[in-house]
Amino acid sequence: MKIGFDAKRAFFNNTGLGNYSRDTIRIVGSYFSQNEYHLYTPKNIQNNRLNFLKGQSQYHIHEPQTFVYKIFKSLWRTFGLKKDLEKDELNLFHGLSHEIPLGIQNTKIKSIVSIHDLIAIRFPQYFKHFDRISYINKSKYACQHADKIIAVSQQTKKDIIRFFNVDERKIEVVYQGCNTIFQSQLPNNYKNEIITKYQLDSKYLLYVGTIEERKNLLTVLKCLKELPDYNLVVIGSGGKYKQKCLSYIKKNNLTSQITFLSKLDLKEMAAIYQKAELMIYPSFFEGFGIPILEALFSETPVITTLGGCFSEAGGPSSSYINPSNVEEMKSEIVDICTNQSRRKKMIEDGKIHAQKFTDDKIAKELIKVYQSI
């Protein structure tokens, strides 16, 4: 098969949608290297997380060719890309993040779209008005016109059916994985080097994710205020909401308990995961939650949100709480850090659950969907 991917996120984003795009391209391309894989990106920028492409003849990178589309790259992805896909004689195109080119249904090319969440419909307050409308319209168009929809969780599948009135037979749930660097233990000497490099305490709690209101870092900070013997490492960047968190930290004299890190490479991140006492992921809503999976592979217990998709990622023994309840979160932090038998069970059950999300399983599921159309 000749398979095309909307690879913008793979080249430009280093967090959620970027990780999903890179992992999908990497996993399918490595397990089924007999196919051709065509990556369509507005610009072929350097990204170290795409090093797996080097020396692999099954991958082909494409950028806009005309002067107009080189200038107006977003127009190329929406309107101009279809002609390029036809010229390259693709069998299949996979839109990796909520959208497909306009009119692709009028070509001979089959299409699939991955839908990660419909948060813009559920929680409109988290989006600027224009961004929200654009996001919803593109997602709805893709769901209506793609030959198949991949939902990254059962929760997302339910939302697609509910909000877009799509026949459930058109939707396949294929879970996300995570980079293989998280899937095996790193040497202790390397992990200790990273702890020293970033001047981290020997014991710390971990938060991973964009620092925005929906991700709910502030509740974790409120717990820290009442747990003076605990430290927190935050991996992620943010804007206005981060400033709100920083103001709270300063006002409550928490600076010595909290370390902010960003722009780490994946190996450094994996080391920090593997040295953490536990990972707290208190988001109000997600499509899946890759950091939960990264923690389970890292043998790090997880506290996350009750309901939604979180149990799909976290499995039977992760801790599920009301993310707004400071007392409940605080109680779980203390218990998991001090109750060794519970901690051991969480780690062991987490490792077993994580095996559902290995590269080989995801590759087979994706190819199965591709072949079905």
Q: What is the pTM of this model?
A: 0.90
Which residue from 357, 310, 373 is spatially nearest to 20, judged by alpha carbons? 357
Both tokens of 298, joined, read 């890292």
Successive 10-residue mean pLDDT values, the chain, 373 residues: 96 88 95 96 90 94 93 91 95 96 96 95 90 94 97 95 96 92 94 96 94 95 95 94 96 96 92 97 92 96 95 96 97 97 97 94 96 94
Write down the mean pLDDT value for the chain. 95
Distance, in Å, from the CA atom of 28 to the CA atom of 300, rounded to the nearest integer, reads 28
pLDDT tens digits along 204-260: 999 999 999 999 999 999 999 999 999 999 999 988 999 999 999 999 999 999 999
- Report how far Cα 89 is from the mean position of its chain's Cα atoms: 30
| β-bridge pairing 171-173 and 148-151 | parallel
Distance, in Å, from the CA atom of 153 to the CA atom of 319, rounded to the nearest integer, reads 19
Residue with token string 């020396």: 55
pLDDT tens digits along 54-103: 999 999 999 998 999 999 988 999 999 999 999 999 999 999 999 999 99
Which residue from 332, 334, 313, 337 is spatially nearest to 322, judged by alpha carbons? 332
List the domains of the chain with CATH numbers.
Answer: 2-177+358-372 (3.40.50.2000), 180-356 (3.40.50.2000)
Residue with token string 């929760």: 155
Both tokens of 352, joined, read 């077993």
DSSP 3-state of 311: helix
CA geometry: angle 148, 85, 16, nearest 5 deg:
55
Distance, in Å, from the CA atom of 241 to the CA atom of 41, rounded to the nearest integer, reads 30
